[in-house]
């Protein structure tokens, strides 16, 4: 069982670290003539338009963002309404629909409801459902954001077959009592075109921000939703008719848990037979001259697969005996990268530890902008406003209450199968912060202690140059009011979950990053995600974070420009335009 041989994940992570040396010696260049197209377009499969007059999700934004754990519990939702075609349109649009079209001299960009690294949009969404409407019958479908349609890949109710890939009785029932499940997959080359082998990390970041939108939208609709990361990969991939070593599934999200009666029997024990062998559907090639292979990506993914019933049972056993809980412990030192240490010694001062207590002074249901003016935005309005800030005003500050609200609402838990106790916050991610310009929080490095609702001061007077340097020397993150680094103790996570724990850590970080985006825009400020120098970041936050690895970083602050909000753009391209994207 490769999943238990955790050196595979550690080797991948080590091999794909950024450092000053790796950046300076890279010979990679962007071949724009071979840039992947941002949509998956089927050539022969039948497709069905989605309803385009759906409402905007109207639950207040911070409640939608912060209380997803509550909405994952089917028992907490008393009125169980049927899921309509309009609900499905609303969920899919506000998760991954097109909200802006940006036209430049060098090309047109179709910006979506959730961000994507490099605006490459490698994540695809699939729907496995029962009979929902007269026009949407049971089947397996691919969501096309460009023409706002569902393309049918299989006809028939495959929910029980999907449920059987999770195998555990609890997760089987979760999927089988849901009217639909959304499955997220990644098109490997679409992101590797720019980020090479490191792009496997981006799978989970880009998936996570879409999941954050989806969870907030289903919370607004009061449809219990959960994330299932433990399933037989190859069967799910085959169900979706994905091309091996090109595409792969990432996570299953059953929606409307408990809204359907439980099936009388499990799927046939031989699921492979139940999922009929169908050829890979023909699609428009995503690049004109073909793809560059990065075998490290597929090796890392293969080594974290659950291949059969025995693997999933072992995964379940790991979860039962090694329950993941909230990380808030001061770790011990580990071996550090000497080059990174020397670099940071030139940039750092001695550290001292203090505690800055922050009571929850901001009512989660009242949003404030940076001037203190009350606003009340629905989650739908926030998703349409959200962008990726390209310039922060370094002369403006955000308040401590704003920063606290962002972190508090973003770290209240993710309804993921690996977090066994749904009544408490469980997580493998910790948040570290560099404060550059936060009123009420002196410049420095902090650990966000969510148990005590406090910022623990680790280093005083960290200059703006530090946050920019750690984020690959980008001035955007020197100008941000604060930069948040989401970190995990990978050795601990992998010991408990095997190589698949690497997926869990990266995915949870991506979801929290998505919540930071939404929480920031809910309070009329901006946010932007970034990559980073791996060992230098760990070294900077050492000794507190000495055994932790950064998953993703987020800058937050006041934008240096006024951006227009997005809008509901359900249909952008015709079917013929999709088929001729390269022309």
CATH superfamily placement of domain 338-557: NADH Oxidase (3.40.109.10)
**Which residues sit opposite 186 in a β-bridge?**
123, 248
Structure-block tokens of residue 173: 């029932």
Determine contact, residues 412/66, Cβ cutoff 8 Å: yes
Q: Which pLDDT value is given to residue 572? A: 81
Query: Mean pLDDT across the chain, nearest whole number?
Result: 86
- Phi, psi angle pair for 528, to nearest 5°: -155, 140
For the segment 222-246, what is each residue's pLDDT rounded down to a tens digit? 999 999 999 999 999 999 999 999 9
Per residue in 408-418, pLDDT tens? 999 998 999 88
Say yes or no to pLDDT of 73 above 70: no
Residues 401 and 519 sit within 8 Å (Cβ to Cβ): no
Give the model's pLDDT for residue 314. Answer: 79
- What digits encode the pLDDT tens for the residues 102-153? 888 777 889 999 999 999 999 999 999 999 988 899 999 999 999 999 999 9
Quick one: fold of 83-323? NADH Oxidase (3.40.109)
Between 102-111, 220-229, 443-452, 502-511, the lowest mean confidence (pLDDT) is in 102-111
Question: Taking residues 380-384, what's their average pLDDT?
Answer: 96
Tell if the pTM clears 0.85, that is, is over it.
yes
For the ranges 11-15, 188-192, 358-362, which has the lowest average pLDDT? Answer: 358-362
For the chain, residues classed under CATH 3.40.109.10 are 83-323, 338-557
9-24 residue pLDDT tens: 999 999 999 999 999 9
Q: Which bin fits 453, alpha (ψ -120 to 50), beta or left (φ > 0)?
A: left
What is the widest separation between alpha-carbon atoms in the chain? 67
- pLDDT at residue 331 above 60? no
Q: What is the pLDDT of residues 527-544, one digit of tens each?
A: 999 999 999 999 999 999
């Amino acid at each position: 069982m490769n999943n238990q041989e955790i050196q595979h994940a550690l080797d991948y992570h080590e091999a794909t670290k950024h450092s000053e040396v790796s950046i300076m010696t890279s010979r990679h260049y962007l071949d724009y003539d071979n840039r992947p197209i941002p949509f998956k377009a089927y050539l022969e499969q039948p497709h069905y338009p989605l309803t385009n007059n759906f409402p905007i999700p109207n639950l207040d934004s911070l409640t939608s963002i912060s209380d997803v754990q509550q909405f994952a519990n089917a028992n907490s939702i008393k009125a169980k309404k049927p899921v309509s075609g309009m609900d499905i349109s609303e969920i899919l649009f506000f998760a991954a629909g097109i909200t802006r079209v940006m036209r430049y001299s060098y090309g047109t960009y179709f910006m979506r409801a959730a961000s994507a690294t490099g605006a490459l949009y490698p994540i695809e969404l699939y729907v496995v459902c029962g009979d929902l409407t007269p026009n949407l019958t049971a089947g397996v479908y691919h969501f096309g954001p460009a023409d706002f349609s569902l393309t049918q890949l299989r006809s028939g109710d495959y929910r029980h077959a999907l449920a059987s890939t999770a195998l555990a009785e609890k997760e089987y029932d979760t999927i089988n009592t849901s009217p639909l499940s959304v499955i997220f997959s990644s098109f490997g080359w679409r992101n590797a075109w720019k980020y090479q082998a490191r792009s496997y990390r981006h799978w989970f970041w880009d998936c996570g921000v879409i999941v954050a939108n989806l969870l907030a939208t289903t919370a607004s609709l009061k449809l219990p939703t959960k994330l299932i990361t433990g399933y037989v990969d190859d069967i799910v991939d085959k169900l979706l008719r994905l091309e091996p070593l090109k595409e792969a599934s990432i996570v299953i999200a059953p929606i409307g848990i408990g809204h359907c009666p439980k099936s009388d029997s499990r799927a046939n024990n031989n699921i492979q037979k139940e999922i009929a062998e169908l050829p890979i559907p023909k699609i428009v090639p995503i690049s004109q001259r073909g793809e560059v292979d990065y075998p490290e990506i597929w090796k890392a993914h293969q080594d974290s697969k659950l291949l059969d019933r025995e693997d999933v049972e072992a995964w379940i056993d790991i979860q039962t005996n090694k329950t993941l809980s909230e990380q808030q412990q001061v770790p011990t030192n580990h071996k550090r990268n000497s080059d990174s240490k020397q670099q940071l010694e030139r940039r750092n001062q001695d550290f001292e530890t203090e505690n800055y207590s922050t009571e929850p002074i901001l009512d989660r249901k009242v949003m404030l902008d940076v001037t203190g003016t009350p606003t009340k935005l629905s989650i739908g309005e926030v998703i349409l406003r959200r962008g990726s800030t390209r310039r922060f005003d370094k002369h403006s500050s955000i308040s401590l209450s704003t920063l606290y609200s962002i972190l508090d609402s973003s770290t209240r838990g993710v309804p993921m199968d690996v977090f066994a106790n749904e009544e408490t916050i469980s997580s493998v991610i910790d948040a570290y912060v560099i404060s550059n310009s936060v009123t009420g929080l002196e410049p420095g490095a902090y650990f966000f202690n969510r148990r005590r609702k406090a910022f623990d001061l680790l280093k005083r007077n960290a200059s703006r140059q530090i946050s920019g340097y750690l984020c690959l020397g980008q001035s955007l993150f020197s100008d941000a009011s604060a930069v948040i680094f989401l970190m995990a103790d990978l050795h601990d996570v992998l010991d408990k979950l095997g190589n698949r724990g690497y997926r869990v850590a990266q995915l949870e970080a991506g979801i929290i990053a998505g919540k930071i985006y939404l929480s920031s825009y809910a309070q009329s400020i901006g946010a932007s995600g970034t990559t980073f120098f791996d060992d230098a970041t760990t070294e900077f936050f050492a000794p507190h974070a000495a055994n932790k690895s950064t998953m993703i970083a987020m800058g937050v602050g006041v934008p240096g420009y006024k951006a227009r909000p997005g809008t509901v753009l359900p249909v952008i391209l015709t079917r013929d335009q999709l088929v001729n994207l390269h022309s």
